Amino acid sequence: MKISPDAASSNDAEDMLDRTTLRKSRTKSIQDGHGDMDVVPTSWEKTLAGDRCCCCPSPCVGCFWGFMCVLIPVIIGSAVPMLKLTDEFGWQVVSHPLTQAHYAHEKLVVQDLTKVTSLFPEDTTIVRNRTAYNEVGVSASLLYVAKGTKCPRDKDKCDLTKGNLLSTRNMELIRKFEDKLYNDTKYQKYCLRDSSGCTDMMSFAQYNRLFSVMSTAYRSAGNCAAFSNIFPDSQWLPSNMDNTLAKDATLDMICNPETTLQATCRGTAWDQTTEAGRTAAATLVPYLPLDAATVTSYVNGSRPRIFPKFACEYKSAGLTNIKADGVPFLKSYLPFGFPVDRNVTGEMDYDEEEKRLQERYSRDFFKLYTEAAADVYKDSNEEMEVLVSADSIIGRLETEIIQYIDMSLMAFSFVMVFGYMWFTTGNLMISGMGMIQIVFSLGPPFLIWLVIIKPSGIQFFQLLSVFLILGIGADDVFVLNDAWNQTKKAMLKELKEGETLDINKLMAISYRQAFSAMLSTTATTALCFVFGSISGIPFISWVSFFAAMVVTFDFVWCITLLAATMGFNERTMSDTLCCCFGQVKPRGQCGQQGCCWGCVPLMFDKCKAQRDEEEEERSGIERVLSGPFFNFVNKAKVPLLVFWFVVVILMIVSISLGVGIADSNPDSMPKDHPISRRTDINAEYFSSEYAMSVNVFWGFQENPVKEWEKTNEARELNMGSINDAISAQGQQKILDLCEAPDNDAGLRCEAESCTVRGFAETRRCPMQYEISGGYNISYPATPSCNSGRNCIMELVKEFALQTGDRKFPVSDLSLVMSSSEFRNYLDLRFALYRSKGLAWKFRKEAYQYQTGVFFDSSILSSGAKIKHLWVSFNATFTCFFCPAAEGKKHYDKWDNFVKSKVDGTGQYHLNNIMFLFKVFQDRMVTEALTSMGLAIGVSLVTMCFVTWNWVISLIGTFNIVAILAVFIGTWPALGWKFDMYTCLFLIMAVGMSVDYTLHILHAYNESSLQTRYLRTKEAVSHMGVTVFSGAITTLLAAAPMFGCTMTFFNMFGTFIFLIILYSILLALLLLLPILLLFGPEGHFGDIWCFYALSAKMKRSNNGGMKATE
C-alpha cells in the first residue's frame, strides 16, 4: 500500500507531537509538581500504601507489610541452614589445557591407584600394628628469629650479622622451649612414635646429642682425641656454645661433616672389625649406625632444613659465616604421627587424619606454643622470637582468629551505616527496615546459589557482596525516602482546609518517581556485574554473578518491603516518637523529629538563621548543595573542567608509567605480621621442604577434562591416543628425555639457572648392581646423589635388556609392562631398595605418584592396554605461585626442553601447580580489562535506554571513565599493581562508580525546565542530597576495614572508599560543570527511534481500545 506525501507528513507531524508529549510526560517537574497530583493509584500502589490486601479490595492497614516481614525471614531461614563455605577457591582457569591436564591426572591417581589398572597399585590388605609405632603425619615448624636484622623485607637495611642465635643463653632458651612442647602430655599422645616412644625432634639439639655421644664413642675407641678434648664427659653443647673451640668444631661438623670426620676420626674408630670400633658402634647404635657416609648423608640432608642457606658460605677470611657471625635464624621440627587413633589398622585417609588432629589438639597446641614463645621473647630481653608454622595443625585456627577480629571490625560498618541512616531520616522504623532490606538482600541469592547453581557452597569472596550492598542499598533507601518526603511536602501545600493527606496518592507519586531512578541504577549496576560473570576465572565469575543477584534483590525488597514500610509508617507512626514515645513536637522544640539523637537536631534548628517557610522545610545538606555549593560550581565551571581534565591526563600518565603486572603475589597479611615474616624468611633463607616436581603426561586429548565435578575436581575425562608415545620411536624419545640431565651440559644442577634440580655433573649418578631373583638390579652407590628424575622408561629398559629379545625399545610396551614378569622385577627392585635402607624417594610409594602408567583394564587379565603414562623431574624453581614474569620464564624453559626431546610422541602435557597459576596470571589481567570494558559499554547502552538521550549517555560514560582513570591512577601511590586482588576490584569498579553519575543524569533528564542551568540546578536540588547521603554511608561502611589485619580486607576497604570518594567528587565537581556547559537542551540528543516506537505503540493501543469500543 502506498502512502501519500500528505499522509507521510501528517504522520511525521504526529510523531513530533507525540515525541513532545512523551518527553513532557517523562520529564515532570520534581520541584513544582512532584508529578501529576491527579494521578490515579494502581491496585499495587494501594496495596503498598496499606489501603487494601493484595487482590482483596477491603482495607487492611499493614497487611502487605506484615506479609513481607514474614516472607523475608522465611526465605532467610531456609537459606541459613544450607549456608556453607566451599573448599573451592576458584582461581583455576578451567578452560585451559594445562589446568585440565593437572586435574585429569589427579583424577586418574585417585580413581585408579587402588585398582589393578595401576602399575603400582596400593596394597589395601596391609594391616599395621600402630600401637607401638605410627607413620609420619605432619610436622610443626619452629622458626627462631633474632631481632634486629631487618631481613629479608628491607633489602637496603638488611644485615644478617646483627643477630646471633648461637649463644649459650639462646641455646638454653631454645632447648627450654622445645622441651616444653615435646614433654607436653597431650603431644605425647599424637607424636610420631617408634618402638621406644616419641621420636626426637629434628633440631640443632639433635646434632648436639649426636656429637656428644660420638665424643664418648671416639674416646673409647682410642682415636679422635680432638673430640675428647672438645666434649668432656656429660657436657651438652648448648651449655657450652660460648666456648669457641667447642662451637667451631661442632659447626665444622655441620657444614662439612665428611671432611671433618675424615680429618679427625680415622682408622679404627670406623673399623668395626676391632673391639674398640665395635664398642663405639654399640654406643652410637641408638642414634645412628657408625658409618661415616650415613652420618654425612643425615647431616647434609637435614642441614638445609635447620640452618639458613648462607650458614656455610665461606668468607674471604677463610671462615664460614656461621663461625664468624653465628646465624640469625634456626629451625626445628616437631613431628606428629598418623593415625591419630593408634588402634586403627589398614589404610588411612590423611585428609581425615589432619582434620582429626586439628579437632583434638589445635587449640591446646596453639595455647601451649604461644605461652612458651612469649616466655622466650621475655627471657631473651626481646632479642629472639619464635614463629611457629603448622598449617596442618593450627593453620585454620590462626586464620579463624584473624578473621574473627577482622569481621568484628567490619560488623562495625553496619553500626555506622545504620547510625547515619537513622540520623539522616530521623525515623527509626524506616532506617531499621532499610538495614533489614540490605541484609535480607543476601538471602535469596544464597538460596538460589545453594539450591540451583552450586550446592557445594558459597565462595568466601562472594560474602564481600554485603559491603557492596551496604552502599548501594542505603542509596536506594535515601532515593525512596527523599522522593516520599518531597512529594509529601508538595501535597501538604496543596491541601485545602478540612482535607486530609491522600496516602494512596502519596505512594503512587513518590513510588513512580523513585522507581525509575532506582531501576536505572540497579539495571546498570547489575548488568555490569552480569558481564563480569562471563569471566573464564571461576571465582571472578562467581563473585560477579552473586553481586548481580544481591543488587537485584535489594531493589526488589526496596520496592516491596521498604515501600510498604513507608506506607505503614505514614498511616500509623508518622507523628510518633519511637524512643521518647508520644507525639512529635514542632521543629525547634524538644521532642521534635530525630530526638533519639539527643539535642543535635534541636541545636541545628536553634542556631540557624531565620528562613522563609520553603527554606525551612529543606534539610541543611539540601540547602547547601542547591545554594552555596551550586553557585560555586556554576561560577567555577570552566576552571573545574580544566582542573579535572588535567587530573585525568596526569592519572593516565601515572597508569602508563607506574601500573604494571605485580612482580610478587599479594600478601595475605601485612609485611610485619608474624605469618608474613615466617613465610618470607622460609622462602628466602631456607631450602624448600617440598621439591617442586614437573610431570610430563601422555594419553589425554588436548582438552583432557570432559566434565567438571568442581573447579578442582574432574568428573569425566577425554582420553586420547597414546600410540605414538608407546611406539618404539616414542619409547626412545621418552628415554632420551629422562636421560637428558645426564647428557646435556648445564641442564641439571642445584641452582635456578639450570632446568632440572640435582647432581651437578653431566653424567649418571654412580650405580651399584646386585643379583636378585635372576635380575641384575641397579641401585645408587651414593644415596645422596640426586638424578633429578623419576622415569618408568629407565626401569623398562633395564628389564628388557635382561629378558626376551634383550633389546630396547620393546615391540609391545603394554604387553611388557602388564606382564607378571615385569611386576615381579619391580617387587624385587623395591625389596632391594628397602634392604639397602635407601631413602623414601626410592620406594614403591614414591613411584606410585612420580612415574608410571595406567591401563584401560586389569593388568591381571590379558589384553590390557596403556592409557596413560607419565614421568617427573625435580625443578629448580621453588615458588608455588611465582610472579607473572618469573612464572612465564620457568614455563617457557620447561616447555622448550620437553618439546626438543619428545616432539613426535603425540599429545603431551606439562604439569606443575605453578604452571596453573601462571595461566591464571596470564588470563587475570585480560579478564579484568575485558570485563571493565564490557561494563562501560553496558553502562552506555543502559543509560541510552534509561534517558532516551545519547548526549546525556555519552556525558555519563565520560564521567565513569574519568572516575576509573583517577582510581587506577592512584595505584602507584598505594603500591598497587595488577594482581588477583586488584583485578577483582577492577571488575567491580564500574558497577560501584555508576550510581551517583546516573542519579544526577536521571534527574537532569526528567526535569521539564528548558535551560541547562535550571535543569542542572533542579537535579542538584532534588538528587544531590540523595547521592551525598548514599556516598557517606558507603564511606562509613568502608572505613572500619582500614583496621583489618588481613591484607585483602584492608585493600578491599581502601578500594570501596576510594571508588566511592572519587565517584561522588567527580559526580559533583566534574559532571555538574559538564552539564552546565554542554548539557542538552530541548530535544537535542533525543534518540528519536525510541520516541517513534513509543508513539507507534501508543497509537496501536489507542486503535485497539477504539476497536473494542
**pLDDT class of 992 with cuts at 50, 70, 90:** confident
Query: Is residue 1066 a contact partner of residue 966, using CB atoms and an 8 Å limit?
Result: yes
Window from 347-356, 522-531, 747-756 with minimum mean pLDDT: 347-356
What lies within 8 Å, CB to CB, of 762 at 6+ separation is 742, 743, 744, 745, 746, 747, 748
pLDDT digits (tens, 9 = 90+) for 629-681: 999 999 999 999 999 999 999 999 999 998 888 777 777 888 888 888 888 88
What lies within 8 Å, CB to CB, of 202 at 6+ separation is 139, 302, 305, 306, 332, 333, 335
Q: Is the pLDDT of residue 292 over 70?
A: no
Which amino acid is residue 293, in one-letter code?
A
Q: Is the pLDDT of residue 1059 over 90?
A: yes
Q: Is the pLDDT of residue 987 over 70?
A: yes
Mean pLDDT of 302-308: 80
Task: Specify the pLDDT at position 79.
Answer: 65
In the chain the first and final C-alpha atoms are separated, in Å, by: 27
Q: CA 398 to CA 363: how far, in whole Å? A: 10
pLDDT digits (tens, 9 = 90+) for 920-960: 888 888 888 888 888 898 889 888 888 888 999 999 999 99
Q: Is the pLDDT of residue 548 over 60?
A: yes
Q: CA 957 to CA 1023: how far, in whole Å? A: 19
Query: Is residue 721 a contact partner of residue 906, using CB atoms and an 8 Å limit?
Result: yes
Q: What are phi and psi of 255, to 5 degrees?
A: -80, -30
Q: Is the pLDDT of residue 549 over 70?
A: yes
Window from 303-317, 813-827, 998-1012 with minimum mean pLDDT: 303-317
Mean pLDDT of 802-811: 88
Mean pLDDT of 1073-1096: 84
Mean pLDDT of 589-593: 54
Place of cell 661438623: 253
What is the 3-state secondary structure of 1011-1068?
Answer: CHHHHHHHHHHHHHHHHHHHHHHHHHHHHHHHHCCCHHHHHHHHHHHHHHHHHHHHHH
Mean pLDDT of 402-424: 82
Give me Rg for the CA atoms of the chain: 38
pTM for the predicted model, two decimal places? 0.79
Mean pLDDT of 862-876: 90
Q: Which of 700, 695, 694 shows the shortest CA–CA distance to 722? A: 700
Q: Which of 264, 255, 199 shows the shortest CA–CA distance to 231? A: 264
Mean pLDDT of 454-473: 81
Mean pLDDT of 276-304: 53
Task: Specify the pLDDT at position 1071.
Answer: 94
Window from 399-403, 484-488, 527-531, 750-754 with minimum mean pLDDT: 399-403
Helix %, strand %, coil % of the chain (to 5): 60, 10, 30
For every residue of 273-304, DSSP letters joined together read TSHHHHHHHHHHTTT--S-HHHHHHHHHHHHH
Which amino acid is residue 603, in one-letter code?
M
Q: Is the pLDDT of residue 705 over 90?
A: yes
Query: Is residue 697 a contact partner of residue 868, using CB atoms and an 8 Å limit?
Result: yes
Query: Is residue 668 a contact partner of residue 1048, using CB atoms and an 8 Å limit?
Result: yes
Look up residue 791 and give its three cell numbers: 622415569
Q: Is the pLDDT of residue 328 over 60?
A: yes
Mean pLDDT of 123-147: 65
Window from 147-151, 495-499, 1096-1100 with minimum mean pLDDT: 1096-1100
What lies within 8 Å, CB to CB, of 468 at 6+ separation is 547, 550, 551, 988, 991, 992, 1056
Q: Which of 701, 700, 703, 698 shows the shortest CA–CA distance to 725? A: 698
> Is residue 175 packed enough to be buried (19+ CB in 10 Å), middle (13-18) or exposed (0-12)?
middle
Percent of the chain with pLDDT over 70: 75
Q: Is the pLDDT of residue 604 over 80?
A: no
Q: What is the mean pLDDT of the chain?
A: 78
pLDDT digits (tens, 9 = 90+) for 435-456: 888 888 888 888 888 888 888 8
Window from 40-54, 570-584, 841-855, 974-988 with minimum mean pLDDT: 570-584
Q: CA 1094 to CA 610: how far, in whole Å? A: 48
Q: Which of 124, 127, 92, 125 shows the shortest CA–CA distance to 106? A: 92
For every residue of 917-940, DSSP letters joined together read HHHHHHHHHHHHHHHHHHHHHHHH
Q: Which of 302, 122, 74, 706 shows the shortest CA–CA distance to 311? A: 302
Residue 878 region by backbone torsions, left for phi larger than 0, else alpha for psi between -120 and 50, else beta: alpha
What does the DSSP 8-state code read for residue 199? Answer: P
Mean pLDDT of 151-172: 83
pLDDT digits (tens, 9 = 90+) for 1023-1040: 888 888 888 888 988 888
- According to the per-residue pLDDT averaged within each range, which of 62-66, 165-169, 740-744 is highest? 740-744
pLDDT digits (tens, 9 = 90+) for 772-783: 888 898 888 776
Task: Specify the pLDDT at position 208.
Answer: 62
Look up residue 790 and give its three cell numbers: 623419576
Task: Specify the pLDDT at position 740.
Answer: 94
Task: Specify the pLDDT at position 1102.
Answer: 57
Task: Specify the pLDDT at position 100.
Answer: 92
pLDDT digits (tens, 9 = 90+) for 875-928: 988 777 777 788 888 999 999 999 999 999 999 999 988 888 888 888 888 888
Which of the pair, 553 or 299, is modelled with greater confidence?
A: 553
Q: CA 489 to CA 407: how far, in whole Å? A: 42
**pLDDT class of 578 with cuts at 50, 70, 90:** low
Percent of the chain with pLDDT over 90: 22
Look up residue 1067 and give its three cell numbers: 559526580
Task: Specify the pLDDT at position 957.
Answer: 93
**pLDDT class of 235 with cuts at 50, 70, 90:** very low
Mean pLDDT of 46-56: 70
What is the 3-state secondary structure of 543-590?
Answer: HHHHHHHHHHHHHHHHHHHHHHHHHHHHHHCCCECCCCCCECCCCCCC
* Helix 792-800 and helix 820-835, axial crossing angle in degrees, nearest 10: 110
Mean pLDDT of 727-747: 94
At residue 25, the 3 state secondary structure works out as helix
